[in-house]
Amino acid sequence: MAQQETDEQTINDGFVVDTEDCEERERAHRERGTSRPITVVGNPVLHRECKDVTEFDEELAQLIDDMFASQRTAEGVGLAANQIGVDLKVFVYDCMDDEGVRHVGHVVNPVLQELPADQRVLDESNEGCLSVPTAYAELARPDYAVVHGQDSQGNPIKVRGTGYFARCLQHETDHLYGFLYIDKLSKRDRKDALRQMAEGTPRYPVVAND
């Protein structure tokens, strides 16, 4: 499926402008897409590095549309391709930052930029994950993040975020390299998160780990 005009991500100073026409762009994606169930912790696709995207074609465009549809069904703010069982480095997001500004976009083949020590101000907030449904735990992450990658047509892009949106960018990039947020927790906190998951009921369709 060819990209629509509303699907384009504009660039400013090398960074994606992802705060304009958010409602229209997100709606266009999900209306073209099909919602898929979410994979959960224990599924092998979540625990290994995903493959690089090398074909920037209609199949990739459809995957991005399906990811936006799946994200809306699950009421998430970010979704990585392996969370719907696809072994490719792609994530989408529809996330507010700490100032209440909405960001909508996608990144293909993301790489998280290492921050200098003087820019690493940690934010210790609760974090959750669609692949660990109903569980939350406090996790310290830098409150600023820059991700380098490509758009759906293979053009180089950069995305930056602060606060909650920075957390989202880090969280989704981690997914594509085989890490869930619970992997960064202490053994006790990880065990508690898995207990919360076991005791809860997901509000969206999930893939059972047989």
Q: Quick: pLDDT tens for 101-160.
A: 999 999 999 999 998 888 789 999 999 999 999 999 999 999 999 999 999 999 999 999
pLDDT tens for each residue of 18-69: 999 999 999 999 999 999 999 999 999 999 999 999 999 999 999 999 999 9
Inform me whether the pLDDT recorded for 209 exceeds 70.
yes
At 143, list the tokens: 């409150």
Q: Which of 24, 55, 59, 172 is catalytic?
A: 172
At 60, list the tokens: 């990739």
Classify residue 52 as exposed, middle or buried by CB count within 10 Å of its CB (0-12, 13-18, 19+): exposed
Amino acid, single-letter form, for residue 95: C
pLDDT of residue 55: 97
The order of strands in the sheet holding 15-17 is: 10-12, 15-17, 156-162, 144-150, 102-112, 90-96, 78-80
Question: 3: which DSSP letter?
Answer: P
- Residue holding tokens 């930056």? 160
Q: For residue 32, how many C-alpha atoms fall within 13 Å in the half-sphere facing its CB?
A: 20
pLDDT of residue 12: 59
pLDDT of residue 120: 83
Provide DSSP, 157-205.
EEEEEEHHHHHHHHHHHHHHTT--GGGGS-HHHHHHHHHHHHHS--SS-
Q: Would residue 172 show up in a list of annotated catalytic residues for this protein?
A: yes
Please name the residue ranges forming H helices in the chain.
22-32, 58-74, 163-176, 187-199
Cβ(113)–Cβ(146) below 8 Å: yes
Q: Categorise residue 8: left if φ over 0, alpha if ψ from -120 to 50, beta otherwise.
A: beta
